[in-house]
Amino acid sequence: MDTARVFDSIIETFRSDPSVTTAKMFGGSALKVSNKVFVCFYKGKLVLKLRRERVEVLVALGGAEHFDSGTGRPAKEWVAIEASRESEWLGLATEAKKFVASSR
């Protein structure tokens, strides 16, 4: 499936959740909870905010990398998940929402 459509289906899944809002990030769509972005779609990858330790595990498994917004310095709590792992995207987005909602 086209990765953009996979992300659109994630947006649709969260649309019924009143705590989730949409936003723009890096010129594309993003989802927010508690007014903080927890997931966005960037250059064909799903970008998520997760615990630092969880990011390390995902990167070690392959098909994921530390997210760098172009500053040359990867963010410690952000990971970019490749299309090869798109079957995991919804579960990871749910995990990211819970993480961001709990970090107030």
Please report the pLDDT score of residue 103 as a whole number: 83
* Out of 16-20, 71-75, 76-80, least confident range: 71-75
Sequence-ordered list of residues with C-beta below 8 angstroms from that of 95, at least 6 positions apart, any chain: 48, 50, 54
**pLDDT at residue 99 tops 80:** yes
Q: Is it the case that residue 1 has pLDDT exceeding 80?
A: no
Boundaries of domain holding 75: 3-102
Provide the whole-model pTM: 0.92
Quote the number of domains for the chain. Answer: 1
d(CA 12, CA 57): 28
CATH code: domain of residue 91: 3.30.1460.30
> What whole-number percentage of the chain has pLDDT above 70?
98
C-alpha to C-alpha distance for 68 and 36, rounded to whole angstroms? 18
Report pLDDT digits (tens) over 34-77.
999 999 999 999 999 999 999 999 999 999 999 998 888 888 99
Q: Which of 7-16, 19-28, 40-49, 72-81 has the lowest mean pLDDT?
A: 19-28
Collapsed DSSP state (helix, strand, coil) of residue 69: coil
21 dihedral zone (left: phi>0; alpha: psi -120 to 50; beta): beta
Residue 25's pLDDT is 86
Question: What 8-state DSSP symbol labels residue 86?
Answer: G
